[in-house]
Amino acid sequence: MLTEAQKLQKQKELEKAQKDVMESIEKATNSPEDMKELLTFLSKYSNYSIKNRILLHRQGAKAVKSYKGWQDAGYQVQKGEKALKIWTPVVIKSFVSNGKKKSLKYATKQEKNLIAQGVLPVSTWVTFNLRACVFDALQTDMPDDELPKLYANKHIDREIDTQKAQEIISSVENVINRLGVTLENPALEEWNGGFAKGYYVPSSKKIVMNPKNTDYEKINVLIHETAHAILHSKNENKVSKELGLKLDENSYEIGELQAEMTAYLTAKSLGMESEEDSVSYMAGWTKNGLKFKEMGYENQEKVLDDVVKVSDYILEEIVK
């Protein structure tokens, strides 16, 4: 167990790391080279109407092809992946026989002859149906180094000792159990979280993890979602009471800032450097810290203080 002096020192280190990363968030920008790489990549997949592009964006997709389209491009859709929906055109042909409208595919032999003779005119129109028939690049075996640096939800695989990773995960699971939260690790075919790496459901008190996460991601995502479970539950929980936290109703953006900041500070203290990924994530959610600045000094102080307390709590559980 740590002495009081060691605990105080550790808290100061967390506060300094937090101050440094907040400064990085305010200065965060995407380099022109990285943005150009992303736009060049996406330009290969722009054969869709604006309506479909909006629909695909809502599903978290960016670059899509059909199953065969990916095969023709030299990639394979991975087993268990669910197709994404787009609006597809359907041509409908009909005619009127004996005063009744009929689809051309149900025409009798006699009616077909009359149609061929031009006696029965055929009407044609196009409608659109929702069909699950395309897949995003992230659902294929495309190597990570072929995906642009700024590609959203791109999986991160950094070297980490498997046994160490499992020990950390087990420690965080102890915190989750203390919260009365269920942790779900579904198989790929049962995953319904789209391209998210995990999510927390306050109403049913459960954390669900993406089965495609790497060992490195499992730790960061699990801590991120655990922070949500502690800080962003509607009611007080065992950990929030123990830490003396007052659960305020912050915006979704600030909630994401807190959860990712907790994951970053905890991982950094464990020797897992994830600043580039975390800063990009937090900067995106807070418009380079603007959403945070709008809160006012007292609220800012509380938001950051809560993060340090939760990070410190999770760290202590891991170190134990």
For residue 2, is pLDDT > 70? no
Question: Contact, 80 vs 107, CB < 8 A?
Answer: no
Say yes or no: 217 and 294 in one domain. yes
For residue 7, is pLDDT > 90? no
Q: Could you say which of 118, 139, 160 is where a domain stops?
A: 139
Cβ neighbours around 140 below 10 Å, total: 20
Say yes or no: 221 and 309 in one domain. yes
Q: Is residue 135 part of a domain?
A: yes
Say yes or no: 171 and 301 in one domain. yes
Highest averaged pLDDT of the listed ranges 31-45, 127-141, 151-165: 127-141
Question: Contact, 255 vs 225, CB < 8 A?
Answer: no
Q: What is the pLDDT of residues 61-94, one digit of tens each?
A: 989 999 999 999 999 999 889 999 999 998 999 9
Q: Is residue 176 part of a domain?
A: yes
Q: Is residue 145 part of a domain?
A: no
Say yes or no: 132 and 163 in one domain. no
CB-based burial of residue 212 (10 Å sphere; 0-12 exposed, 13-18 middle, 19+ buried)? middle
Say yes or no: 107 and 251 in one domain. no
Say yes or no: 206 and 282 in one domain. yes
Say yes or no: 26 and 54 in one domain. no
For residue 214, is pLDDT > 70? yes
Q: Provide the pLDDT for residue 144.
A: 86
Number of domain units in the chain: 2
Q: Could you say which of 80, 112, 139 is where a domain stops?
A: 139
Q: Is residue 144 part of a domain?
A: no
Q: Provide the pLDDT for residue 179.
A: 95
Q: What is the pLDDT of residues 289-300, one digit of tens each?
A: 999 999 988 899
pTM summary value: 0.81
Say yes or no: 127 and 229 in one domain. no
Q: Which domain holds residue 253?
A: 4-30+150-319
Say yes or no: 14 and 114 in one domain. no
Mean pLDDT score of the chain, rounded to an integer? 90
